[in-house]
A and B are shown apart, each in its own frame.
Chain A
Amino acid sequence: MHEWALAEAVISTVDKIYRENNKKSIHSVNISIGEIQSIEMDIFREGLKIILDEYPFGPEVFQFKTEKASFKCNCCGKEWLLEDHAECGEEEREAIHFLPEAAHVYMRCPYCDSPDFKLLKGRGVSIESVELDPGND
C-alpha cells in the first residue's frame, strides 16, 4: 500500500528527531492528514503499527487530525472547498490519491473554470509537532 510509504516517512522523521534530542522519550506526535490525498486511515495506522515494531516508541503517541482541503483560484481570486467542486471520477480520484498535484489535471475552479489554482490547505501528510517528555535526560 502506498499509505505505508507515508507511514514510513513519518516514522523515519520522528526517529530522526528522537535521536537528535538525545533519545528523550516522545510524548506525542501530531499528524495532519490532508483531505485531498484521501488516505485510508486504517491502512495508514496498520502500517504505522507494524513498522513501529522496530522503534523505541509505540503507536499510542501518534495523534491524527484531518485537514480540510481549500483552494484559491489564481485567475479569479475566489476561494473554494473540495465539496464546491463536482465530484471527480474514480480514476481521477485515484490519480490524485497517488499524486495530489494531479488535481491540476482533473479539477477546475468552480467559478471561472481555470486549472490555475493554489492548494491552500489539506494536501497530504505532515507532522504538526513532536512533543518530547520533559525531564527525562
Chain B
Amino acid sequence: MIDPRLVAVKKKLSLIKRILVFSSAKGGVGKSICAAVSALSLSQAGFRTGLLDMDFQGASAHIFLGTELCFPEESRGIKPFRIKERLDFMSFAPFSREHPVPLRGNDVTQAMIELLAITVWDELDFLVVDMPPGIGDEVLDILRFMNRAEFIVITTPSGVVIRVVERLLEMLRNLEVPVVGIIENMKTNESPYRTNSCGERNLSNSYMAKRFQMKLLGSIPFIPDMDELVGRPDALLCSILGLTIKKIMSAITRQRGNSCKSFLGGVNG
C-alpha cells in the first residue's frame, strides 16, 4: 500500500522558500496571534505569504484575522483563502466550523498530510505555520515533513511557562532543528518566581535564550485591551504587538535561512 499524497506533499513544499513554525510548549502564550500578525506583516512587506493553522483542535488564526469560514474553492486542489494581497490562509476550521474536533494522533497526521497534499499555494516566499501547544504529533510531523522548517518559539515572562518552554528548546537543540529565535510575549514585570530547571535562581527569557544560545528576537508588552483588536488585521498591525513583530520579521527577511539540518529522514529534501 503506497500513500500517493506523500510525493505530492514533498513536491508542493519544495516550492516554498522558507517555512516559519510558531511553536511553544505551552498554550495561551500567543502563538496564534504572533503567527497571524507575522504573516500579515510579511505580506505587507511584499513577500508572498501563506498562513497555515496546524492547530486543528484549537484553530484560532481565523479569529484573529476575522476570516469568515466557508468551503474553499476547488481548482486542481483547494485554493487557500485570500486574506489580503499576497496573503493566503488555510486551516481545519472551514471544515469543522465552530464544532469540536476530537482527533487522535493518527487522525491529526492524516488530516495534516491531506491538507498539505491538496492545498494549492501560489509560489510562496514564506509559509507561516501556527502550531498547537506542546511537542506532540504536530511538531513531530512538521519535523518529518518539513525538514527546512525554522522554529520561532513563543514564551511569556511567567516562570511556569519558561520552565516548560525550556524543554521544547532542549528538544529542538538536541535534534539540531533550526531555531530563528524566541519571542517573549505578554511582557509585564519580571516573574517573582525565579528558579529555573537547573535549580539556578535565574529564571528569565533573556537568560534562557543565552543558555540555549538562541536569539531573543523581541519582547511584546501585555496589552490590556487586546480583545478590541481581535478580528481586525489592520488594527493588529498598528498595535505595539504589530510594530514589534514587524521589526522582528524585517530582521528575519534580511537574514537567510542558513542551516537546514535534517533528521528523522524527513521526506522533504
**Using a CB–CB distance below 8 Å, which chain A residues touch chain B?**
1-2, 4-6, 8-10, 12-13, 16-17, 32, 47, 74, 94-95, 98-102, 104-106, 115-116, 118-119, 123-128, 130
Contact = CB atoms under 8 A, between A and B. Distances in A.
Contacts of A12: 4, 7-8, 11
B2 A9 contact: no
A16 B111 contact: no
Given A12-B11, A126-B3, A126-B4, A5 B111 contact: no
Interface in B80-96: 92, 95-96
A115 B96 CA distance: 14
A104 to B, nearest CB: 5
Given A104-B103, A105-B96, A1 B74 contact: yes
B50 to A, nearest CB: 16
How big is the B interface, by class?
A: 35 or more
Contacts of B193: none
B96 A95 contact: yes
Contacts of B92: 99
A2 B77 contact: yes
A5 B96 contact: no
Nearest to A4: B76
Contacts of A10: 4
25 contacts: A1-B74, A4-B77, A8-B76, A8-B77, A9-B4, A12-B4, A13-B4, A17-B2, A32-B1, A95-B71, A98-B72, A98-B78, A99-B111, A101-B56, A101-B107, A101-B110, A102-B95, A104-B102, A105-B96, A116-B104, A124-B5, A125-B5, A126-B2, A127-B1, A130-B2
B107 A104 contact: yes
A2 B107 CA distance: 20
B117 interface: yes
Contacts of B104: 74, 116, 118
Contacts of A127: 1-4
A11 B99 CA distance: 35
Interface of B: 1-8, 11, 56, 71-72, 74-78, 92, 95-96, 99-104, 107-108, 110-111, 114-115, 117-118, 120
Given A99-B95, A124-B114, A116 B102 contact: yes
Contact of A16 (B1, B7, B77): B7
A17 B78 CA distance: 26
Main secondary structure, interface of A, reads helix
Nearest to B71: A94
Contacts of B96: 95, 102, 105
Contacts of B2: 13, 17, 126-128, 130
Nearest to A98: B95
Nearest to A116: B102
A105 B77 contact: no
Contact of B115 (A99, A106, A118): A99
B78 A2 contact: yes
A104 B105 CA distance: 13
B13 to A, nearest CB: 13
A90 to B, nearest CB: 11
A5 B117 contact: yes
Contacts of A16: 7
A124 B115 CA distance: 13
A8 B8 CA distance: 8
Nearest to A10: B4
B236 to A, nearest CB: 28
A6 B4 contact: yes
Interface centre among B2, B3, B75 (most CB of A within 10 A): B2
Closest 4 CB pairs of A and B: A5-B77, A9-B8, A101-B111, A127-B2
A13 B11 CA distance: 10
